[in-house]
Amino acid sequence: MSQAPLVLVDGSSYLYRAFHALPPLMTSTGLPTGAVKGVLNMLRSLQKQYPESVITVIFDAKGPTFRDELFAEYKAQRPRMPDDLRVQIEPLHECVKAMGFPFLCVEGVEADDVIGTLAR
């Protein structure tokens, strides 16, 4: 019996991509939702493209990572995350879980490092 293929998704990368690619969307109360909608659309597209696969969504952990400890200048020049993006992280996590996707967020580790480890 063969196992279903595993698709590993960098949810944090998808979130940035959706935020910068789509026009701003907001709820009637002014809460930004465009990036959430964009990521969910991308995940639905993956489900259609790979119907027999297990799609696992991995997110960067909040706070410093082991790379920050190794190299003080790691991402030091990167601009601060926009507030309109930051407020969409937790709602996106909840939506991903509610849709039944396996969800990973490892403290002190970025999503791409988790993906690299799992892909080995």
pLDDT digits (tens, 9 = 90+) for 5-29: 999 999 999 999 999 998 889 999 9
Please state, in angstroms and rounded to a whole number, the distance separating the CA atoms of residues 39 and 59: 12
- C-alpha distances (whole Å) from 24 to each of 31, 37, 62 are 10, 10, 24
pTM for the full predicted model: 0.87
Give CATH for domain 6-119: 3.40.50.1010
User: Sign of the C-alpha dihedral, residues 115, 108, 16, 36?
Assistant: positive
DSSP helix/strand/coil, 54: strand
For residue range 29-39, list pLDDT tens digits in order: 999 999 999 99
Query: How many Cβ atoms sit within 10 Å of the Cβ of residue 7?
Result: 16
**Residue ranges of the domains in the chain?**
6-119
- 60: tokens are 């960067």
Residue 76: what pLDDT? 55
**Tokens 């690299």 -> residue:** 116
Using the predicted structure, report yes or no on whether residue 45 has a pLDDT greater than 80: yes
What integer pLDDT is reported at residue 91 of this predicted model? 97
pLDDT digits (tens, 9 = 90+) for 52-69: 999 999 999 987 666 667
